Amino acid sequence: MIAFHGLGQKIKLGATVGQECMSGIEWESQRVFLAVLRSGSLSGAAKLLGIAQATARRRLDCLEHALGVSLFTRTPQGLTPTAGAQRLIEHVEAMDLAAQTFNRMASSEASMDHGTVRLTCGELLGVEVLPDLLRPFHYEHVGLKLELSISDALEDIARLQSDIAVRLMRPNEADITVRRVGSLQIGIHASAGCLERYGNPTSLLSLRQRPLIGPDRRSADLRRFIDSGLCDADQHFAIASDHHLAQLAALRAGLGFGLCPTQIAKSHGLVHVLPHDFGFEVEVWIAMHNDLRKIHRIAQAFEVLGEQLHQYLCLADQ
């Protein structure tokens, strides 16, 4: 039974739930519960799981019947978890991660060319660098599915949200294997068109008189600009975005001067400005959970990607 509280009444869906449900609590019903939590609706849950909405409703009915509680209330924004449901969130998420781990471990003896490897990486490296580096591995293992989670939000590899993570800082989760593969060299860059329009600055002070491309609300990035003397706390950027891909696009369009890894800037023909006055390094690390070393395809992907990243960072920096 799904009990919706609204308009002063409780609406019961599935009056014969007790007759339709099997005894006990089934994992498939719990998966629907988790999917509704993540999507906010039965239709969204059905889409996430690839099942019919009626099936999702029936499984959630069965779960509520077995538990003897209502898990969701209906609001204008969708389905809202009750207090009882909120107490279960941590546990059902842990069960979901355990199920994913079970599936990975169960397939550890499978052929190298079958299965899935999930990679997580920040947007700049994930879009500008990673696809080219993965090409040889992909061509050699055509039956292997590669999932690319491209986001600056960190997925938790300790909880197996991803198999392999590329990070711009040393990962500190427990029970993981890490490798430092090199460093990105960060410098000030501009397009040839931008330099033709605004002139080549001769100092950091003269750079501040030209249009700058920088962060919008990301405080850590803004602090780096301020501490390095590129701008004052009250200075406004000509183009401001917290997305590094947007900053790169603005640089390529000639809209101003901004920070970019020299390795990536070279590939787009950007000019390194004031190389002797400003620059810093950002370490690049690759990580995986220790348990995943037992799965051949993931361990192999870790080694190949680590070596490809190392070669890219070393060669591009020369």
Residues β-bridged to residue 118: 147
Are 13 and 75 members of one domain?
Answer: yes
Measured CA to CA, the distance from residue 195 to residue 269 in angstroms comes to 13
The structural domain count of the chain equals 2
Are 118 and 89 members of one domain?
Answer: no
Mean pLDDT of 10-36: 67
Are 263 and 200 members of one domain?
Answer: yes
Give the domain CATH number at 72: 1.10.10.10
Q: What is the DSSP string of 177-229?
A: EEEEEEEEEEEEEE-HHHHHHH---SSHHHHTTS-EEE-SS-HHHHHHHHHTT
Are 152 and 79 members of one domain?
Answer: no
**Is 63 exposed, middle or buried, given 0-12, 13-18 or 19+ CB atoms closer than 10 A?**
buried
Verdict on whether the full-model pTM lies above 0.75: no
Is 153's pLDDT higher than 80?
A: no
Are 100 and 176 members of one domain?
Answer: no
Domain boundary among 62, 77, 106: 106
Is 15's pLDDT higher than 50?
A: no
Domain boundary among 55, 80, 106: 106
Domain boundary among 88, 106, 124: 106
Are 173 and 260 members of one domain?
Answer: yes
Q: What is the pLDDT of residues 119-134, one digit of tens each?
A: 999 999 999 999 999 9
Are 124 and 252 members of one domain?
Answer: yes
Mean pLDDT of 37-62: 89
Q: What is the pLDDT of residues 60-77, one digit of tens each?
A: 888 888 888 889 888 777
Measured CA to CA, the distance from residue 152 to residue 158 in angstroms comes to 17
Mean pLDDT of 287-314: 90
Give the domain CATH number at 164: 3.40.190.290
Would you state the pLDDT for residue 64?
86
Domain range holding 94? 2-106
Are 85 and 214 members of one domain?
Answer: no
Is 256's pLDDT higher than 80?
A: yes
Are 99 and 172 members of one domain?
Answer: no
What does the buried/exposed string (b/e) look like for 143-155 if buried means 16 or more CB atoms within 10 Å of the residue's CB? ebebebebeeeeb
Would you state the pLDDT for residue 5?
40
